[in-house]
Amino acid sequence: RCGLKKRGHGSRSWIKIDLLGNISILELDKATIMRRCSLPGRDLRLLDPLFIYPSTILGREKAIVVSFEQIRCIITADEVILMNSLDESVVQYKSELCKRLESNKDQSDDLPFEFRALELALELTCMSLDAQAQELQMEIYPLLDELASSINTVNLERVRRLKGHLLALTQRVQKVRDEIENLMDDDSDMAEMYLTEKKLRSEGYPSSDLGFQTNTSHEETIVSKSAPVSPVGSCSGTHKLQRAFTSIVSSSRQGSLLSSSNCGENIDKLEMLLEAYFVVIDHTLSKLLSLKEYIDDTEDLINIKLSNVQNHLIQYQLLLTAATFLATIFAAVTAVFGMNFAATVFDHPPTFNWVLVISGVACGFTYFSFLMYFRYKRIFPL
Amino acid sequence: RCGLKKRGHGSRSWIKIDLLGNISILELDKATIMRRCSLPGRDLRLLDPLFIYPSTILGREKAIVVSFEQIRCIITADEVILMNSLDESVVQYKSELCKRLESNKDQSDDLPFEFRALELALELTCMSLDAQAQELQMEIYPLLDELASSINTVNLERVRRLKGHLLALTQRVQKVRDEIENLMDDDSDMAEMYLTEKKLRSEGYPSSDLGFQTNTSHEETIVSKSAPVSPVGSCSGTHKLQRAFTSIVSSSRQGSLLSSSNCGENIDKLEMLLEAYFVVIDHTLSKLLSLKEYIDDTEDLINIKLSNVQNHLIQYQLLLTAATFLATIFAAVTAVFGMNFAATVFDHPPTFNWVLVISGVACGFTYFSFLMYFRYKRIFPL
Amino acid sequence: RCGLKKRGHGSRSWIKIDLLGNISILELDKATIMRRCSLPGRDLRLLDPLFIYPSTILGREKAIVVSFEQIRCIITADEVILMNSLDESVVQYKSELCKRLESNKDQSDDLPFEFRALELALELTCMSLDAQAQELQMEIYPLLDELASSINTVNLERVRRLKGHLLALTQRVQKVRDEIENLMDDDSDMAEMYLTEKKLRSEGYPSSDLGFQTNTSHEETIVSKSAPVSPVGSCSGTHKLQRAFTSIVSSSRQGSLLSSSNCGENIDKLEMLLEAYFVVIDHTLSKLLSLKEYIDDTEDLINIKLSNVQNHLIQYQLLLTAATFLATIFAAVTAVFGMNFAATVFDHPPTFNWVLVISGVACGFTYFSFLMYFRYKRIFPL
Amino acid sequence: RCGLKKRGHGSRSWIKIDLLGNISILELDKATIMRRCSLPGRDLRLLDPLFIYPSTILGREKAIVVSFEQIRCIITADEVILMNSLDESVVQYKSELCKRLESNKDQSDDLPFEFRALELALELTCMSLDAQAQELQMEIYPLLDELASSINTVNLERVRRLKGHLLALTQRVQKVRDEIENLMDDDSDMAEMYLTEKKLRSEGYPSSDLGFQTNTSHEETIVSKSAPVSPVGSCSGTHKLQRAFTSIVSSSRQGSLLSSSNCGENIDKLEMLLEAYFVVIDHTLSKLLSLKEYIDDTEDLINIKLSNVQNHLIQYQLLLTAATFLATIFAAVTAVFGMNFAATVFDHPPTFNWVLVISGVACGFTYFSFLMYFRYKRIFPL
Amino acid sequence: RCGLKKRGHGSRSWIKIDLLGNISILELDKATIMRRCSLPGRDLRLLDPLFIYPSTILGREKAIVVSFEQIRCIITADEVILMNSLDESVVQYKSELCKRLESNKDQSDDLPFEFRALELALELTCMSLDAQAQELQMEIYPLLDELASSINTVNLERVRRLKGHLLALTQRVQKVRDEIENLMDDDSDMAEMYLTEKKLRSEGYPSSDLGFQTNTSHEETIVSKSAPVSPVGSCSGTHKLQRAFTSIVSSSRQGSLLSSSNCGENIDKLEMLLEAYFVVIDHTLSKLLSLKEYIDDTEDLINIKLSNVQNHLIQYQLLLTAATFLATIFAAVTAVFGMNFAATVFDHPPTFNWVLVISGVACGFTYFSFLMYFRYKRIFPL
């Protein structure tokens, strides 16, 4: 039970990518990272590679903790610390991020460093999950069509296996989707993630100072000073309302809206970024869910088909059983005349033919009336 | 994996429809559109024709990105850029929009350009989806009634195919419905879509300037100037509250409500527009869902029916098996007397009749007691 | 595809009921109604009788558009325009509304005209739906009990038909319930529906003018004038907060709360009205849902029962098959001695008895060991 | 259809319990109660005993309408009017409430009269529902275990009956739970229920007057006067925000928070009361839901088990059919030699033995190869 | 029925752990605890050990009532009162909490006492539930794979048992998850839990006094004094909005934000703590849910497989029945010639061979045509 605590204490290999796209590989233990990124041990545990696939984005004081599938990293305002692994998506993340950071201009919108790192993680994850969904789809559709026309144990086993994969993939996609949705729903969490801005502000209020130092009225100065006291709250859940307030109250006092409007704009930026990937992952999810329903529908109809075939089989068997019964009756009748009694009946040879004809006709007639009866009882043409 | 990035870079054919209903066909590449409509590449990717059917409406800075089924367009304050395609609904959208823009008066309510373009997209999409739902309904109901009375493999295969169509259509309708609902739920997103108004304001505040330049008190001027600083925020999620505030605070200072009340009124306009189409698409969805449930109910009862028929079949088979058993017994008895032993029993000819009568009566009695036993065990009249 | 637009352009018969309960029958075309009630064509389409059963309440500028099952009407501050139809509930609505409007006093609470009309529509709809649910319940419960004890095709077909009815009715009830719930959740929509109050205010502010003209301070006058500028917003989604505000801010300036508190009170009135019918319709819905679940439970158990009976049938068949096998063996043994060889075995007559006894005992013993084996394999007493 | 209106007009027997625990039995008709408790007729209809089990709590102007299962009462600030009935829980409610009102001290928290009455109704209802759930659990678990080991028609019928009970009980519990949850979610509804406080305030503002009469500043007096104007709104949905406001605004004016903080505290009291019973009823609900799922799981496995047993039965039958087939073949072979032809084959007696040996061995070998074939086809050891 | 009240009145053994990690074991009765922690009897009932497993966290005036699985404790600002039990997790909680309180430094973030106690309860509960989920997973997966390949009654019974466990565990995990989620959703409930801070404030405002006593302006003092009047409300549901307000309003009056910003920061602390454990428990839940779905999927496919095997069995039986029928026919034909008539047919010995050949060929041909017919009817190769 103490395992959970022990794990992750040992030092592990991390990849550090700085603002300029320089890569270095470091050996860091948990404590160092906790100090470096001001993270409690609790949060680091979520990156643990032994803890499989719970996609998470956590906005913390000075870092964003990202754990998307294989990409597990801590994004700060200055660097990305990426958990080293030979996994393809980690390698791709590393190289692609460097490329993008070096060629600064290919993205038209100028996102801060932390969001460019976050976007890449989102992009690679969404693409990789969508590719996996696509692959599964490619495999399942023909299999189901095959199964619908001919059912066999091997195919059933394959469907079971693929349903397991589908279920696992759906859960992973759902988790990523929910994580993005939750983030989009909570404006204060999004505001929390403006690491670069928070850092700039805490380092010397360059932007707001520039804006306010020309003010002379006593009251306004107080506004400009008090606002940064709660930098988080100032872009919080009700940030729009607050912006409205600020604009009304402070404007009636000639205050400036620089810092808060800035922040509001940025939340829009992050929101738009998340929204675009939300559409993608949501589409992947709905693909998987419809795949699941398609399997279920196919199974329902296979069940009906099997029952239907079974009924037909039993119908034929019923016909044959009836025929067997009558053949047995016929055999019994003839056996009667095979008994070794010296009965008088045997003395009249033509009886031989009469016995055959009469019992044959009787059997035929009985069989025919069985058929009529079944048809009358409506169990026969089904 | 880089495919997603590459796709859409090449130039593609677009239809431009301007405010007056003039149509021109343009070849635009991604970069041009990004510049023209101030959209990040991320958003344009959602219009990609290779990315099938994820209905989306995105309100951006200067454009609304609409992707409803086949109608994929970017609406700005001045023009609609529609992805060219031979699809019927695209052709219809093009011609109908021009017709409406030219004959300005047939819509009693004077919606701005962007909403007229949006409404048409909504209208065509809802109508087309409803027509498809109707068609599916027409096809499924008789098929199910047929299936309920006579089950055969061909019909089962058709039901499976139609269930697949139904599932896909339901998802597409659901997506459109969710998109409209989400938009209606988020006042700030709706406000974001007032492109014409935003453009007018950014070009020279004509309306508010006119309203305020006559004010003389220092304080009011500040209100009028500060309000447009956050034009989006001013109609945000809590816009009603804010309007209330503004009205209270500013009114107590003789301020004007022109700009904000204007905006609030407009949100109502868009909300009412969306609401009307929401009712339509929601009705389509509920039709599809009830169709799905109807199929499921029919399947349930088909299953019961099949099991029931099967039990009847097995009952008859049981009766015949019992009869066969007794016939075999009778045959065995007669065969006994066919053995070629010179036993004394054969010396008494009337025994022949006694054997027949006794074994016949015994078999008949046994059969009757089987029937009684099954009836007693309650497995027979079911 | 243009059908949707064309429909409803022709004039149709409407029943007009005014404030005093006078009834007149009018022929109105769409355009006239649009002008008369300031409704966009979009909203009128929802009343179209070809568009079946989507219950809706829409609060518009000067009218409430109500479409509850057969009762499709437009309620304004002065009159109810009811779509004419021979349907029983329309007739009942017409006569009952007149009766209530004439005898003003039987309702203790003095609701404005529009709510009395709305309440009657709600009441008749809820009662009619509940009666239909009751009827269905009456029909389904005995049918299921019958089905549980004896399954036959006719009953199965009836259950399928009733499940179809149940599904349709559930959806209609659900729609009414959702419509009431959505309305109750959105205070601003409810406020929008105070047509009489809105009309009075727009005609000459009689109430507020009376209240405020005695005020002398400059500031208060402004409050009283500015408040009605946004009559809708003043009772909006956050009306309570706003009321709180108003009370604080304006009271600290000796302002009056007449208009806004008035409005808040009224929302409570409409809310209480809706709440009471919500309880009724919600009860109807839960009745229907429990009916559905009861059917499902019964079906589950019918399935188990059928499988169980089937197994019993097959058990008996197994026993009979085993008996037949042994009878055949016995017959085969006796047939052996019926062969016409001149074998020495036939020379010893008592062998006849020995053959019978030995093979008889052997068969009996084998049958008994079959029984033991099945019991040992646990497939027998099930 | 007019029945709904007529019902309840006749006078009915009610139990009145006043503040001191005095009980009197009254005959009241609907109109009297409507006047006495300021309730519209609409609300009284919900208490109608013919309208079965829709648990509801409605907070009205001067009364709380409570309808929990059998306990149907109207709670005002001064008295509880309880619908008379011989039901055990009504009797218990009556006696327990009197006992508690007399011995005032046994509840440590001093709740006002209306909440003590409400709490008792909640407590008795939760306890009674939990007891019923417990009982059902006691009955269902052993039944299912019995069913899982031996399926018979009587038990299936019992399960069906108990599932019906479970369904009904679940709905009733769900209804109570939802009612409590809805109430807890809506602060303004909870505030509405402070009947005693509302009555005190409307009678002479004793608490706030005491607090404010010592104030001299003009502004504060206004605050103290204006606050009670909207006594409901002052503890409304956004009461906490408002309290914050009040505290800020009024405190900056040296105002007192007496009345509003009082109200906020009380909401906490009611919330805590509801929360405690919510935990209880929610636990009951989850017990019932898990019972339902347990039944479903058992049914699933019974179905598999039945199919599995059936397959085993059919396997044995297949074996026996094969054996019967071969016995028939053997009998046919021997019958061949029983034909009365004077064929030369009968002249050689040892052929008798050869026929037996050869056909016996052939049958045995064929049977063995059947077994091998089935095993090879994998349908045999299943 | 009075049992619920009686239970828990007797004194019970509790473990007290104070701020320094000292442990003492006390015998406390209900009344003492109610007084000591200012809790109503209602809340204490939820800790009752007879009331099994409803995980709950309740924030009360001076205590947090925690009931997580076996860990049932009351946390105040000074001590943890833990219900004594021999359960492993209680023992572990006791020892681990003392260890952590003694070695103060191993947690980098300095949480107040109540949260350290709460965190440990959360941690142990989440770990224990996750371990149980893991265990169940270990047991179920191989069992299902075994079942998928070979179905037998023992395994089915084990699956049923494990499904019962899974269901119970899922509910317990769900309950813990919901409890954490609800808490995280309600900021005011989280604020309520800052016991240490609330205690400090009520004891003498040390922090705020220090901050404010240097202020000289009359207005600020009022702010500082009035703020603590509603200590709960000041960090309430809309705390961020309020903080924004406070910052704007009070800052415009040079007020300090010390106390309120402090509180806001702390809510973040508790929120971050809960968030981390929410991720863990949510992961556990999704593991269990996917386990459930995996079982369901396996069951679906087992059903199909069983039906499929059954159809194959019936096919073979059909073939054998057909063969038996023909063998009987053959035997009947030969029996015909075994009849003891002196027919002329017997006089021609070669007829013997002709009879055999002709009837043999006829039977063979008939059998072959059966096969052809079945194949033609498509019921044979399935």
Which pLDDT tens digit goes with each residue over D139-194? Answer: 999 999 888 877 888 888 899 899 999 999 999 999 999 999 988 888 778 888 88
Site from B336, B363, B370, B375 to mutate, C interface, most C CB atoms within 10 angstroms: B336
Q: How confident is the model at residue C31 (pLDDT cuts 50, 70, 90)?
A: confident
Q: What pLDDT score does D266 carry?
A: 58
Between chains, do D338 and E334 touch, taking CB under 8 Å as contact? Answer: yes
Q: Which of A173, A275, A186 is nearest to A232 (CA)?
A: A186
User: Average of pLDDT values for E325-341?
Assistant: 85
Residue keyed to tokens 């009749």 = B353
Q: What pLDDT score does E122 carry?
A: 92
Contacts of C217 in chain D (CB under 8 A): none
Residue keyed to tokens 């049938």 = C313
Site from B137, B321, B341 to mutate, C interface, most C CB atoms within 10 angstroms: B341
Q: How confident is the model at residue A47 (pLDDT cuts 50, 70, 90)?
A: confident
Q: Is D49 helix (H, G, I), strand (E, B) or coil?
A: coil
Taking the CA of residue C109 and the nearest CA in chain B, the distance in Å comes to 30
Between chains, do A303 and E301 touch, taking CB under 8 Å as contact? Answer: no
Contacts of E351 in chain D (CB under 8 A): 341
Between chains, do B236 and A243 touch, taking CB under 8 Å as contact? Answer: yes
Between chains, do A337 and E341 touch, taking CB under 8 Å as contact? Answer: yes
Residue C58: CA count within 13 A, CB half-sphere: 31
d(CA E258, CA E211): 7
Contacts of D304 in chain C (CB under 8 A): none
Q: Which pLDDT tens digit goes with each residue over A116-158? A: 899 999 999 999 999 999 999 999 999 998 888 778 888 888 9
Are the beta carbons of E236 and E188 closer than 8 angstroms?
yes
- The region of weakest confidence among B108-117, C68-77, E312-321 is B108-117
Of C314, C337, C356, the CB nearest to B340: C337
d(CA B49, CA C119): 50
| B150 or B125: which leads in pLDDT | B125
- The region of weakest confidence among C354-363, E200-209, E256-265, E273-282 is E256-265
| D263 or D351: which leads in pLDDT | D351
First to last CA, chain C: 62
Residue keyed to tokens 């008494």 = B348
d(CA B186, CA B194): 14
Amino acid at D79: E
Output DSSP code: residue C39. -
Contacts of D268 in chain E (CB under 8 A): 232
> Interface partners of A (3+ CB pairs, < 8 Å)?
B, E
d(CA E137, CA E159): 12
Taking the CA of residue B362 and the nearest CA in chain A, the distance in Å comes to 15
Helix (H) or strand (E) holding D75: strand D71-75
Are the beta carbons of C81 and C37 closer than 8 angstroms?
yes
In Å, what is the CA distance from E219 to each residue of A250, C248, D254, E224, E255? Answer: 19, 19, 9, 9, 8
Contacts of D351 in chain C (CB under 8 A): 341
Q: What pLDDT score does B153 carry?
A: 81
Q: Which pLDDT tens digit goes with each residue over B236-252? A: 333 444 444 433 343 33
Helix (H) or strand (E) holding A237: none
User: Average of pLDDT values for E232-252?
Assistant: 38
Between chains, do C251 and D229 touch, taking CB under 8 Å as contact? Answer: yes
Q: What pLDDT score does D248 carry?
A: 38
d(CA A232, CA A267): 12
Between chains, do A314 and B310 touch, taking CB under 8 Å as contact? Answer: yes
Contacts of A252 in chain B (CB under 8 A): 219, 222-223, 249, 253
| E257 or C175: which leads in pLDDT | C175
Torsion of CA C78, C84, C90, C95, to 10 degrees: 60
User: Average of pLDDT values for A314-333?
Assistant: 89
Output DSSP code: residue E360. H
Of C41, C246, C328, the CB nearest to B248: C246
Region of residue B112 (phi > 0: left; psi between -120 and 50: alpha; otherwise: beta)? beta
Contacts of B266 in chain C (CB under 8 A): none
Between chains, do D283 and E51 touch, taking CB under 8 Å as contact? Answer: yes
Taking the CA of residue D255 and the nearest CA in chain E, the distance in Å comes to 9
Between chains, do B338 and A343 touch, taking CB under 8 Å as contact? Answer: no
Indicate if the pLDDT at residue D8 is higher than 60. no
Q: What pLDDT score does E104 carry?
A: 64
Between chains, do B108 and C40 touch, taking CB under 8 Å as contact? Answer: yes
Q: Which pLDDT tens digit goes with each residue over B111-147? A: 888 888 999 999 999 999 999 999 999 999 999 988 8
Taking the CA of residue A342 and the nearest CA in chain B, the distance in Å comes to 6
Greatest Cα pair distance in chain B? 144
Mean pLDDT of chain D: 76
- % of chain B with per-residue pLDDT over 90: 16
Task: Identify which of A222-226, A257-261, B51-55, B311-315 has the greatest average pLDDT.
Answer: B311-315
Between chains, do B352 and A329 touch, taking CB under 8 Å as contact? Answer: no
In Å, what is the CA distance from B158 to each residue of A356, A381, B164, B353, D262? Answer: 51, 21, 10, 62, 68
User: Average of pLDDT values for A210-222?
Assistant: 38
Indicate if the pLDDT at residue A207 is higher than 80. no
In Å, what is the CA distance from C238 to each residue of A129, B238, B245, C185, C187? Answer: 42, 8, 11, 11, 8
Of B58, B303, B317, the CB nearest to A275: B58
Q: Which pLDDT tens digit goes with each residue over B160-203? A: 899 999 999 999 999 999 999 988 888 778 888 888 888 888 87
d(CA B220, CA B323): 106
Q: How confident is the model at residue B99 (pLDDT cuts 50, 70, 90)?
A: confident
Indicate if the pLDDT at residue A160 is higher than 50. yes
Are the beta carbons of C274 and D42 closer than 8 angstroms?
no
Q: What is the Cα D271 distance to its own chain's centre? A: 21
Task: Identify which of C81-90, C204-213, D130-139 has the greatest average pLDDT.
Answer: D130-139
Q: Which residue of D has its CA nearest to C378?
A: D309
Indicate if the pLDDT at residue D330 is higher than 60. yes
Q: How confident is the model at residue D260 (pLDDT cuts 50, 70, 90)?
A: very low
Site from C160, C295, C354 to mutate, B interface, most B CB atoms within 10 angstroms: C160
Q: What pLDDT score does C276 carry?
A: 85
User: Average of pLDDT values for B68-74?
Assistant: 87
- The region of weakest confidence among C173-187, D119-133, E188-202 is E188-202
Of A241, A305, A328, the CB nearest to B238: A241
d(CA D48, CA D65): 12
Taking the CA of residue C378 and the nearest CA in chain D, the distance in Å comes to 9
Indicate if the pLDDT at residue C209 is higher than 90. no
Of D128, D300, D328, the CB nearest to E331: D328
Indicate if the pLDDT at residue D227 is higher than 50. no
Indicate if the pLDDT at residue A382 is higher than 80. no
Taking the CA of residue E321 and the nearest CA in chain D, the distance in Å comes to 7
Between chains, do B355 and A340 touch, taking CB under 8 Å as contact? Answer: no
Contacts of C307 in chain D (CB under 8 A): 303, 306-307, 310
Mean pLDDT of chain E: 76
Which two three-digit tokens encode residue C137?
């319940």
Mean pLDDT of chain C: 76
Q: Which pLDDT tens digit goes with each residue over C118-151? A: 999 999 999 999 999 999 999 999 999 888 878 8
Strands, sheet with D71-75, edge to edge from the N-terminal-most edge strand? D23-28, D12-18, D79-83, D71-75, D64-68, D56-59
Which two three-digit tokens encode residue E114?
């109540």
Between chains, do C251 and D225 touch, taking CB under 8 Å as contact? Answer: yes
Are the beta carbons of A92 and A120 closer than 8 angstroms?
no
- The angle formed by the CA atoms of residues B292, B295 and B297, to the nearest 5 degrees, is 110
Torsion of CA D112, D116, D121, D123, to 10 degrees: 130
Of E254, E311, E344, the CB nearest to A306: E311
Q: Which residue of A has its CA nearest to B219?
A: A252
Q: How confident is the model at residue E53 (pLDDT cuts 50, 70, 90)?
A: low
Contacts of C252 in chain B (CB under 8 A): none
Q: How confident is the model at residue E128 (pLDDT cuts 50, 70, 90)?
A: very high
Between chains, do C167 and B297 touch, taking CB under 8 Å as contact? Answer: yes
Region of residue C154 (phi > 0: left; psi between -120 and 50: alpha; otherwise: beta)? alpha
Contacts of B35 in chain A (CB under 8 A): 108
User: Average of pLDDT values for A266-271?
Assistant: 77
- The region of weakest confidence among D240-249, E171-180, E185-194 is D240-249
Q: How confident is the model at residue D136 (pLDDT cuts 50, 70, 90)?
A: very high
Site from D336, D352, D358 to mutate, C interface, most C CB atoms within 10 angstroms: D352
Between chains, do A318 and B323 touch, taking CB under 8 Å as contact? Answer: no
Are the beta carbons of D22 and D88 closer than 8 angstroms?
no
Site from E70, E100, E108, E256 to mutate, A interface, most A CB atoms within 10 angstroms: E108
**Radius of gyration for the alpha carbons in chain D, expressed in angstroms and rounded:** 39
Contacts of E298 in chain A (CB under 8 A): 160
In Å, what is the CA distance from E87 to each residue of B46, C118, E92, E284? Answer: 56, 61, 9, 22
Tell me phi and psi for residue C213, to 5 degrees. Answer: -65, -15
Of E322, E331, E335, the CB nearest to A320: E322
Residue keyed to tokens 């404790």 = E73
Q: How confident is the model at residue A10 (pLDDT cuts 50, 70, 90)?
A: low
Residue B66: CA count within 13 A, CB half-sphere: 28
d(CA C354, CA B25): 106
User: Average of pLDDT values for E266-277?
Assistant: 82
Helix (H) or strand (E) holding C152: none
User: Average of pLDDT values for E240-255?
Assistant: 39
Q: Which residue of E has its CA nearest to A327?
A: E329
Helix (H) or strand (E) holding C238: none
Indicate if the pLDDT at residue C33 is higher than 90. no
Contacts of D1 in chain C (CB under 8 A): 92, 127-128, 131
Between chains, do D247 and E227 touch, taking CB under 8 Å as contact? Answer: yes
User: Average of pLDDT values for E242-248?
Assistant: 40
Task: Report the sign of the C-alpha dihedral through residues A345, A346, A349, A353, in that order.
Answer: positive
- The angle formed by the CA atoms of residues B217, B222 and B228, to the nearest 5 degrees, is 140
Taking the CA of residue C153 and the nearest CA in chain B, the distance in Å comes to 7
| C176 or A226: which leads in pLDDT | C176
Mean pLDDT of chain A: 76
Residue keyed to tokens 């070979």 = E150
Q: What pLDDT score does A217 carry?
A: 38
Indicate if the pLDDT at residue A246 is higher than 70. no
Q: How confident is the model at residue A188 (pLDDT cuts 50, 70, 90)?
A: confident
Beta bridge partners of B59: B64
Between chains, do D236 and C244 touch, taking CB under 8 Å as contact? Answer: yes
pTM equals 0.79
Taking the CA of residue C24 and the nearest CA in chain D, the distance in Å comes to 25
| A49 or E231: which leads in pLDDT | A49
